[in-house]
């Protein structure tokens, strides 16, 4: 019999013996917990594109494991050939989704292992790449735990918390980002009341966040996206916590479509709006939100998917951006593993990276 509690499953894992990326198929949740073992690159690319594995950190971990598996299968004619084949595999996986920077961040990190070990033979490179993929995953667990600790300092027992999309365990290697303070608070006896926006069109809030939170015994209410204003007006929300796919250097934060609307509402009602972002999600090379590439997805996700039958007329035009960004002025704070950044973000985010560099130096 399958385990009822979704939190007992690993979102993303490596099965090295079978040379497989192991994921929970998130398109089947909450109806069915199906574990997929993916061994070919095409299937891994498709799993990312189709959101079988999704959420910025989880995509990064899946890509790190995926590119390790690609490298493992390479029979190279020397170092240069290995590099070329690795780059091909990396570029292929990177093309699956454009917005979450964790995907290219993890793949670049894997590539650095190859580039910094010039002259090593293929077997040695494969061993190093395996260790790096495992490190990407292990670090994500630590990062999420830290975000949970920092996030928990921003709320108090009994608070109502609204969240959008799913930035929980299912979107990371463990614990989640925006949901980490809630899971951690639950563990420590806090009783939060969570409102999960259903998150049209792919319903990550209703299908995934609600499932995950209910599994953990958290008091959870699903609302349609257009109910958030009413819930806030009722005085039921003391804080908004959302995840993030890419933070620009000025603090503009790109997340699931609808996030910017929630941020505007929170500002109007005077509710703090917190973005939870691992440093792997902060892209200091991008100046502002407008410079972040926004994925556009197929029309059928809006007109048909999840409905019993098509709910919009044939031939109608559809606009389906998967993400938007909240302007930095709408964001009360950005919660990272190295502390809480507050406006002005162009300074506070640099300080977060200074702390990270210092921590790495101490570790070395
Ligand atoms: O399209 P998705 O489901 O991958 O979008 C996910 C989100 O927008 C999450 O909020 C974000 O990736 C943060 S996950 C910790």
Whether the predicted pLDDT of 146 surpasses 80? yes
Question: Of 141, 255, 292, which is best to mutate to test ligand 1, by the most ligand atoms within 8 angstroms of its C-beta?
Answer: 255
Residues in the chain: 364
3-state secondary structure the chain: CCCCCHHHCCCEEEECCCCEEEEECCCCCCCCCCEEEECCHHHHHHHHHCCCCCCHHHHHHHHHHHHHHHHHCCCCCCHHHHHHHHHHHHHHHHCCCCCCHHHHHHHHHHHHHHHCCCCCCHHHHHHHHHHHHHHHHHHHHHHHHHHHHHHHCCCCCCCEEEECCCCEHHHCCCCECCCHHHHHHHHCCCCCEEEEECCCCCCHHHHHHHHHHHHCCCEEEEECHHHHHHHHHCCCCCEEEECCCEEECCCCEEEECCHHHHHHHHHHHCCCEEEECCHHHEECCCCCHHHCCCCECCCHHHHCCCCCCCCCCCCCCCCCECEEEECHHHCCEEEECCEEECCCHHHHHHHHHHHHHHHHHHHC
Q: Residue 69 C-alpha to ligand 1 middle, in angstroms?
A: 24
Confidence check: pLDDT of 1 > 70: no
Q: How confident is the model at residue 119 (pLDDT cuts 50, 70, 90)?
A: confident
Closest ligand 1 atom, residue 100 Cα: 12
pLDDT at 59 over 50: yes
Mutate to test the pocket of ligand 1, among 51, 53, 56 (most ligand atoms within 8 A of CB): 56
Whether 165 is in the pocket of ligand 1, judged by its Cβ within 6 Å, is yes
Query: What value does the mean pLDDT take over residues 296-313?
Result: 97
What's the predicted TM-score (pTM) here? 0.97
| Alpha carbon 152 to its chain's center | 19
The verdict on the CB of residue 133 being under 6 Å from ligand 1 is no
Percent of the chain with pLDDT over 90: 97
* Residue 104 pLDDT level (bands cut at 50, 70, 90): very high
Query: Is the minimum distance from the CB of 104 to ligand 1 under 6 angstroms?
Result: no
60 pocket-lining for ligand 1 (C-beta < 6 Å): no
Confidence tier at 5 by pLDDT (50, 70, 90)? confident
167 lines ligand 1 (CB under 6 A): yes
Which atom of ligand 1 approaches the CA of 164 most closely?
10
Closest ligand 1 atom, residue 102 Cα = 12
- Categorize the per-residue pLDDT at 2 as very low, low, confident or very high, splitting at 50, 70 and 90: low
Active site residue 245: yes
Q: Are 20 and 37 in contact (CB under 8 A)?
A: yes
Give the model's pLDDT for residue 3.
Answer: 64
Residue % of the chain over a pLDDT of 70: 99
Nearest CA to ligand 1 atom 15: 167
Does residue 61 carry a pLDDT above 60? yes
Measured from the CB, is residue 255 less than 6 Å from ligand 1?
yes
Q: Which one is catalytic: 140, 159, 197, 245? A: 245
Q: pLDDT by residue (tens digit) across 227-267?
A: 999 999 999 999 999 999 999 999 999 999 999 999 999 99
Helix, strand, coil percent values for the chain (each to nearest 5)? 45, 15, 40
For residue 342, pLDDT over 80 is answered with yes
């Amino acid at each position: 019999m399958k385990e009822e509690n979704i939190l007992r499953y690993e979102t993303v894992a490596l099965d090295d013996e079978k040379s497989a990326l192991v994921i929970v198929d998130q398109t089947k949740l909450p109806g069915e917990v199906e574990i997929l073992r993916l061994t070919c690159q095409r299937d891994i690319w498709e799993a990312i594109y189709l959101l079988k594995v999704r959420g910025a950190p989880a995509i990064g971990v899946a890509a790190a494991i995926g590119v390790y598996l690609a490298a493992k299968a390479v029979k190279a004619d020397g170092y240069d050939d290995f590099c070329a084949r690795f780059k091909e595999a990396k570029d292929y996986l990177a093309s699956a989704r454009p917005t979450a920077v964790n995907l290219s961040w993890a793949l670049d990190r894997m590539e650095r292992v190859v580039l910094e070990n010039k002259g090593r033979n293929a077997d040695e490179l494969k061993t190093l790449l395996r260790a790096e993929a495992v490190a990407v995953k292990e670090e994500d667990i630590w990062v999420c735990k830290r975000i949970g600790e920092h996030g928990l300092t921003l709320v108090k027992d009994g608070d109502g918390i609204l969240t959008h999309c799913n930035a929980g365990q299912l979107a990371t290697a463990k614990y989640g980002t925006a949901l980490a303070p809630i899971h951690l608070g639950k563990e420590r006896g806090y009783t939060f009341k969570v409102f999960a926006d259903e998150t049209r069109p792919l319903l990550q809030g209703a299908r995934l966040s609600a499932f995950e939170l209910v599994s953990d015994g958290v008091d959870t209410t699903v609302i349609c996206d257009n109910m958030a204003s009413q819930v806030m007006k009722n005085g039921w929300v003391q804080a908004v916590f959302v995840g993030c796919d890419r933070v620009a250097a000025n603090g503009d934060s790109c997340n699931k479509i609808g996030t910017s609307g929630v941020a505007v509402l929170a500002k109007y009602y005077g509710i703090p709006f917190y973005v939870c972002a691992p440093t792997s999600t902060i892209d200091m090379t991008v100046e502002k939100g407008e410079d972040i590439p926004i994925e556009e997805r197929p029309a059928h996700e809006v007109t048909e998917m999840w409905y019993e039958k098509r709910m919009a007329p044939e031939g109608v035009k559809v606009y389906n951006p998967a993400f938007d960004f909240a302007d930095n002025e709408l964001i009360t704070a950005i919660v990272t593993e190295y502390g809480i950044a507050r406006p002005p973000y162009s300074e506070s985010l640099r300080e977060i990276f200074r702390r990270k560099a210092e921590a790495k130096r101490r570790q070395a």
